[in-house]
Amino acid sequence: MAEQHTHAHAHHHGEKHTHISRGTYYRVFAALMVLMVLTVAAWWVEKNLIELPGWLAVTIAMSIAIAKTVLIVLYFMHVKISSRMTQVYAAGAFVWLIILFVITMGDYVARGWPPQAGPLP
């Protein structure tokens, strides 16, 4: 009974669907393949054509990687069509990842990273 209610509710707002169609899976897969080609292309361009500054190269590589991750988490791991509670947990995992990165990088920056910046006094 409760389940039917949620179902109707979700459809009413048009924000949740109970499953992801096969076509969407193929489109996501295609997008991932394109992003993979982009990753390799970015590496090749940096290696053979133009010398990119480190921060730019890292930003490009990270942006592509994040795009891939988001696609996989939302579609292949079904977070897009999951309950709010599942979404909160999935988001929570990234909050924890940010904690890991921010605090660890805090140490690295204070010790002198990138090396030319030198350590804090």
Kindly identify the residues of this chain, within the stretch 74-93, that bind another protein according to CB under 8 A.
85, 89, 92-93
Using CA atoms in the order 67, 69, 71, 76, what is the torsion angle rounded to 10 degrees? 170
Residue of the chain from 5, 51, 96, 117 that contacts another protein (CB under 8 A)? 96
For residue 116, give the DSSP letter: G
2 binds another protein (CB under 8 A): no
Nearer to another protein (CB atom), residue 37 or residue 88 = 88
Alpha carbons 66 and 4: distance in angstroms, whole number? 36
Cis peptide before 114 (omega within 30 of 0): yes
99 binds another protein (CB under 8 A): yes
3-state secondary structure 60-75: HHHHHHHHHHHHHHHH
Residue of the chain from 103, 115, 116, 117 that contacts another protein (CB under 8 A)? 103
Min dist. Cβ of residue 120 to another protein (A): 6
- Contact residues for another protein, defined by CB under 8 A: 85, 89, 92-93, 96, 99-100, 103-104, 106-107, 110-111, 119-120
